[in-house]
Amino acid sequence: MDLQDRRVTVMGLGSFGGGLGAVQFLAQRGAQVTVTDNRSAAELSESLAQLAEIPSITYHLGGHQREDFSTADLVVVSPAVPKGNPFLRLAIDSGVTISSEMNLFWELNPACVIAVTGSNGKSTTTAMTHAILNATGRTCWLGGNIGRSLLPHVAEIRPEDVVVLELSSFQLEDLDRLQRSPHVAIITNFSANHLDRHGTLENYRLAKQAILHWQTPTDFAILNQDDADVVAWPTRGRKLFFGLKDMGGEGLFLTGQRSAVFRFAGRERTLTVPKWLSLPGIHNLQNALAATCAACALDVPDAAIESGIRGYKALPHRLELVAEVSGRQFYNDSLATTPESAIVALAAFEQPIILFAGGYDKGSDLTEMARAIVAKPVKAVALMGTTGPRLNELLDLFDPEQRVRRTICESFQAAFSWAVSESQPGDILLLSPGCASYDWFRNFVDRGTQFREMALDSGQLMASE
């Protein structure tokens, strides 16, 4: 891939590694790089600081310029940019090649790929899979939507290595054009999400299914047996299932409270996956089963699987215990940006819960989330963001007597103060919003970081009451 002196526009710098990785890679290859983003330099300050030592980058921030798209040799676009964007149309009409950070990586990567997608649990499953494979002693690379670009490191990756990627529906839409699928594809589950971008549930499903489109009979598709939608997804790869009940099929299934069986090609293998896992919640057990099933398909030894799962710690912002103050536990589940992920977080605890819920409106149906809040029952809910009033209406529908205390909050600080005032020793204060973060925060990381800082300082707040 000769990029020396080629004019390349990177559209969408962002904050999660993809745009940064693309710029770093392009600069390494000698391209003339222009970065353009609708956000201002102040909003992108953290990302810009990581590029400060790279010379000769042109920045057009706070808006796009037509010539960056009409005169470029290549446009590398963030997957978050809608396909109908007029500047992308201008580039296409001008005969400019369009690519993405993930597509560039995929074209250059020489190693075997294990990729994970799904509506919920994909980050944890990706990280668990990486932890297991890393325990084999084989060089294993972790990247994709989990927040790290491997593109700047692609020259270091060897054919005998293994790459584990988390892939979003946006990334999969782009990858489908390359007609490539991973050797092992893991689908955690499927439910409505990102309908503000995809328009319909069917479009969202088709984007997710792209992970399977180009598999061959020598590849593996690891599918969730407990998800009625996912089990029927088509692929030419070898299907293996994971589930909470053993129905006699091929794959990995629970056979008791402490054991599971992996069945493949007429052979059976027993593993004590539930015993090895320390994370709370049935959903994390399902994530562990998915990762273990993929590892078993690749003949990973039991000792490596046990080591990977036993040593695995919750990722930041994913049901992460961030503080214990005055008998209260504070859990940061800021990555719970769908109603389904909030529902499984609620199910992970037996203690009384004070919940932080709501945020940016992606078009998701919040009905079942509201029903789960009432059924749990949650003690109190601090309702946040654009969806706060709609959640309140749904809670009124399912809980007209207001057994679950709730209030619509005007700021995150107000929400936190109210939640702490409603809590008692022994309670769980859970940030699991079930919605995106973009109305009050830069992103889910910003939301989770603010929650952690407030939790660590909450002793002063309690002392003042």
Please state, in angstroms and rounded to a whole number, the distance separating the CA atoms of residues 27 and 87. 23
**Above 90 in pLDDT, residue 459?**
no
pLDDT-based confidence at residue 59 (cuts at 50, 70, 90): very high
What digits encode the pLDDT tens for the residues 279-310?
A: 888 989 999 999 999 999 999 999 999 999 99
**Residue among 97, 93, 82, 89 nearest 173 (CA):** 82
pLDDT-based confidence at residue 192 (cuts at 50, 70, 90): confident
Pick the CATH number of 103-310 from 3.40.50.300, 3.90.1170.40, 3.40.50.1820, 3.40.1190.10: 3.40.1190.10
Domain boundaries, the chain: 7-99, 103-310, 320-463
What digits encode the pLDDT tens for the residues 209-266?
A: 999 999 999 999 999 999 999 999 999 999 999 999 999 999 999 998 899 999 999 9
Please state, in angstroms and rounded to a whole number, the distance separating the CA atoms of residues 43 and 241. 43
**The residue to which tokens 């089963």 are assigned:** 289
Q: Looking at residue 196, what is its pLDDT?
A: 81
Pick the CATH number of 320-463 from 3.40.190.80, 3.40.50.970, 2.40.50.100, 3.90.190.20: 3.90.190.20
Q: What is the DSSP letter of 125?
A: H
123, 318 in Cβ contact below 8 A? yes
Q: Looking at residue 315, what is its pLDDT?
A: 83
What digits encode the pLDDT tens for the residues 392-443?
A: 999 999 999 999 999 999 999 999 999 999 999 999 999 999 999 988 998 9
Handedness of CA 235, 237, 242, 243 (dihedral sign): positive
Please state, in angstroms and rounded to a whole number, the distance separating the CA atoms of residues 123 and 238. 23
Q: Looking at residue 75, what is its pLDDT?
A: 98
Specify the CATH class of 7-99 in words: alpha beta
Higher pLDDT, 461 or 88: 88
Q: What is the mean pLDDT of the chain?
A: 94
